[in-house]
Amino acid sequence: MPRIDFRVNSSHLVVEWMGIAVRKVPISDINRISKRLKGKPEIWRNTLRANHRMLVIYRKSNARPLLITPSNRYVFRNKLENAIDRIDA
C-alpha cells in the first residue's frame, strides 16, 4: 500500500502521500473527532485492517467526514484536540 502520513500543523490537518501534501483540512473547520463513523466518509488510510486505528473527523462545513488511520490514534487525537483548543482560545 502507498505510504500515507498524517500531520497537525498550527492551522491545518495535513494528509501526506510520500511526503507530498494531498489534503489539508483547516483546524478551524473541525467540529469533533470520534472513533464512530456516521455517513459516507472521505477515506484516507494507510493500513489494510483499519478498525483499531480509525479516527473520524467531522467538519463544521457539513462536508463529508474524513476517516484517517494514524499509527497511534489516541496520541494523534490528543495533538489534534490541543491544536483545536489553541485555535479556539
Name the pLDDT band for 11 (thresholds 50, 70, 90). Answer: very high
Element containing residue 41 per DSSP (H, E): none
Domain locations in the chain as residue ranges = 28-88
Q: Which residue has the cell 501534501?
A: 21
pLDDT, mean over the chain: 90
pTM of the model: 0.85
Tens-place pLDDT, residues 40-78: 999 988 888 777 889 999 999 888 999 999 988 899 999
Say if residue 2's pLDDT is above 70. no
Whether the per-residue pLDDT at 1 is higher than 70: the answer is: no
